[in-house]
Amino acid sequence: MRENVRLGGGAGFAGDRLDAPVHLAEYGDLDYLVLECLAERTIALAQLRRRRDPAGGYDTRLTARIETLLPILKSRGIKLISNCGAANPLAAADAIVAIARRLRIPVKVAAVTGDDVLAALDLDQPTMECGNPISTYAPIISANAYLGAEALLPALASGADIVVTGRVADPSLFLAPLMHEYGWAPDDVDRIARGTAVGHLLECAGQLCGGYFADPGRKEILDMAHLGFPFADVDADGNAILGKVAGTGGRITRATATEQLLYEVTDPCGYLTPDVTADFSAVTLTETAQDRVEVTGARGRARPAALKVSVGYLAGFVGEGEIGYAGTNVMARAQLAAQILRERLAERFSELRIDLVGSTSLHGRAFDSNERPYEIRLRVAARAKTPEEAAIVGDEVEALYTNGPAGGGGTRKYVTEQIGIVSTLLDRARVSTKVTEREWGAHAEVV
Amino acid sequence: MPKLYDLAHCRAGDKGNTSTLSLIAYRPEDYSLLAERVTVAAVAEHL
């Protein structure tokens, strides 16, 4: 058995930077690169795209990611694991194979499916948030169970270069290669918990390296414009050393690791994943060198009996409008504008908010004015049932050009569709997962 | 009186409709003071 597996965290969400994982793959001496690309709402939005295009519904930046990474991954023998399959892992696998064919790089891709449980969803089931039935939220557009690491094991055993999934619990994406490499049993709860802790620390990529941590003057992080992404060297017992490539921006310290260990953990003594109930309360973080932090001591208890299901629903539209004011008497003019809009919109929209925002957007400086604040950007937002109704908000803000207080400028208006998310639980027995292989370049085809 | 900002750093996040805030003492000796003062009730009142 090998003594060390190095996992890299190459994306913390769908919109994450594309350059950082390339650098990590190139210089990080990785065994596995993991791209976590699914926030809570991402998969519901992807489901809407799949409805419009049956061959779509995966991460919109998959092509950009794979095109640059594939040559590096193949030449260095790094395996890729990603939930970038989103609402359509099979289509994602096909898209990756198409890229490989174009680049003439042989590839084997394994797609993990089974997380989409919309057809099996019982609408009378209560939500975890409010206890009311799911049917309250109709129209429902997606229901995806959080799969655990075990769903990925057959894909890894197939020898695939790339494993694509839909909804999988974020830490499970990292735990799976550890279970695969070290042969950890699913009920080996302490090792599973340690692997889960490592996954949790890496799953937000740059956040472990000082992203979302920096606070100038108090928590200084240098060279954030070139923030490096992290890796972990994990041993056969799940103990790990976190690190990043020398010369990249950011820092990994006991403090950055502590914040990330506790990030979005509701109960540090009972962090629930599909794989384990993890107890982080006895975790020890030790700085062993510059940008190296050792992680030990997570413990585990039996995994939850049910899987969490994330249910997406259509939640109407939000219309927004902005306009800027600056200089002498700015507050009074902005407040007058706010009052005009409230009078014109309050009856039509039950959920209306008006905010006063601003710093340097209009003139870039405050000249010699004593006015504080020097500028205000008025932002108005309201919820609506239709896009047409939502558009009225921005139109009314724009109308202030000629109908409102002196000196308004720089209006912007937006209408965005809203996706709501509620959660429920589903018996594990009702979720069955499957691995489908796609391949290009097997021997004869490569000429 | 010292400010909370001087005693601890914090990480904010959310899960579903639950906001999560972790509080991490810069110095271990301040931990018990934070645990005693920064209660769920005190935070709820502040917000």
Tell whether A402 lies on the interface with B, counting CB pairs under 8 A.
no
Of the pLDDT bands very low, low, confident and very high (cuts 50, 70, 90), residue B17 is: confident
Q: Are the Cβ atoms of B20 and A421 closer than 8 angstroms?
A: no
Residue A446's pLDDT is what? 47
Domain A311-423 grouped into CATH 3.30.70: yes
Q: How far is CA A96 from the centre of its chain?
A: 21
Q: Are the Cβ atoms of A262 and B11 closer than 8 angstroms?
A: yes
Cβ count within 10 A of residue B45: 8
By CB atoms closer than 10 A (0-12, 13-18, 19+), residue A435 is buried
pLDDT average, residue stretch B17-37: 92
Q: What pLDDT, in 10s, does the model give residues A432-443?
A: 999 999 999 974
Q: How far is CA A405 from the centre of its chain?
A: 42
Q: How far is CA A71 from the centre of its chain?
A: 25
Residue B19's pLDDT is what? 85
Tell whether B18 lies on the interface with A, counting CB pairs under 8 A.
yes
Residue A368's pLDDT is what? 80
- Write out the E strands in A235-346: 240-244, 271-272, 277-279, 284-289, 292-296, 299-301, 306-326
Of the pLDDT bands very low, low, confident and very high (cuts 50, 70, 90), residue A1 is: confident
pLDDT above 70 for A412 = yes
Closest Cβ opposite residue B22 in set A40, A212, A259: A259
A178 in Cβ contact with A196 (< 8 Å): no
* Virtual torsion, Cα A45, A46, A50, A56, nearest 10 deg: 140
- Which of A40, A253, A259, A421 to mutate to test binding with chain B, by most B CBs within 10 Å of its CB? A259
Helix/strand/coil for A393: helix
Q: How far is B16 from chain A (nearest CA, A)?
A: 7
pLDDT above 70 for A55 = yes
Q: How far is A208 from chain B (nearest CA, A)?
A: 12
Residue A362's pLDDT is what? 84
Measured between its terminal Cα atoms, the distance across chain A in Å is 36
Closest residue of chain B to A40, computed from CA coordinates: B16
Residues of chain A with CATH 3.30.70: 311-423
